Structure 1
Amino acid sequence: MFDPHREAHRQHIHLSYIRGFPYRGLWFPDVRTIYLRHGMSWVEERCTLAHELGHAHYGHRDQSPKTERQADEWAATQLLGHVDYYPADITLADACHEHDVTPRILLAHLRTRKAS
């Protein structure tokens, strides 16, 4: 199972937690640091960190709809790549709970599966 904290450590990416940070997370490539809002739930932190690692993976230096989509899809692949199918009767909330992801990441995963 993909552990974004372990991956950040492996890549020598520093994590900095900030109380009252207006964003869930931001990647600053020049200092190899991901800033995260202090106090998020475990699932929100896990998905936010995976998303920011997606920016690092692609070498993003800006934010645009395209880079945000790419980071979401990279995070979804890492966090949910082991999921082959979803039962037809499962709700979005139940699938998120079952796989410890946010709706945004689950929807990105569904989008990437549909595209392939």
Structure 2
Amino acid sequence: MRVLEQLGIPVLRVHLRDTWGAWSPLHRKIVVAAGLSARQERCVLAHETEHALADDLGCGVGLDAAHPQAIPQERRADILAARKLIHISDLASVAQWADDIRVAAHELDVTERMLRVRLHDLNGEGWPWPATSKIAG
């Protein structure tokens, strides 16, 4: 939130049907689904902030062949957000005792999805979802 405040980008919480958040470059606003947990909202805001920082075209373009730039934008936003949310020293500390991804994600205050992104990034395996995946924190 601090970065968004510095950039002058407001966050609106509204009912969303098929996603947890979106960046609107036209309106210079981030929309977040109402009713998310604090952990979910934290991860969504980190992801959408990366879109804003990169001045991406927005999340509404869809992940399809008609908009091939959407896939690399989503991938980059996920990876950069995961890197900022999950510091390697914290991950190493939790990895010493957590034997389950749910437990580790909870301890790191991130969603399981964001932790998976970070682990795949560290392993050099790339983005862990197919190109048609919807962003879900």
Q: 21-30 or 41-50: which moved more?
A: 21-30
Give the Å deviation of 1:70. Answer: 0.9
> Aligned-pair RMSD on alpha carbons?
1.9
The 2-side partners of 1:107 and 1:43 are apart by 15
Aligned to 1:51: 47
- Count of residues in correspondence between the two structures: 111
Aligned to 1:24: 20
The 1-side partners of 2:87 and 2:8 are apart by 24
The runs of 5 or more residues in structure 2 that have no matched partner are 63-69, 125-137
Aligned to 1:67: 73
Is 2:103 the partner of 1:94? yes
Kindly tell me: are residues 84 and 41 of structure 1, through their superposed partners in 2, closer, same or farther at Cα, counting changes over 3 Å?
closer
Bigger Rg, structure 1 or 2: 2
Greater helix proportion: 1
Under a length normalisation based on structure 1, what TM-score does the superposition of the two structures give?
0.84
The 2-side partners of 1:100 and 1:89 are apart by 14
The 2-side partners of 1:14 and 1:46 are apart by 15
Residues 48-94 of structure 1, C-alpha deviation per residue, up to 9 Å, x if partnerless? 11110111122211452322111111110111125352237521001
The 1-side partners of 2:8 and 2:28 are apart by 8
4+ residue runs of structure 1 moved beyond 6 angstroms? none
What SS does the corresponding residue of 1:90 show, helix, strand or coil? Answer: coil
The 2-side partners of 1:57 and 1:103 are apart by 24
The percentage of aligned residue pairs carrying the same residue is 31
Under a length normalisation based on structure 2, what TM-score does the superposition of the two structures give?
0.73
The runs of 5 or more residues in structure 1 that have no matched partner are none
| Structure with more relative contact order (C-alpha pairs < 8 Å, separation 6 or more) | 2
Q: 75-84 or 26-35: which moved more?
A: 75-84
Give the Å deviation of 1:28. Answer: 0.6
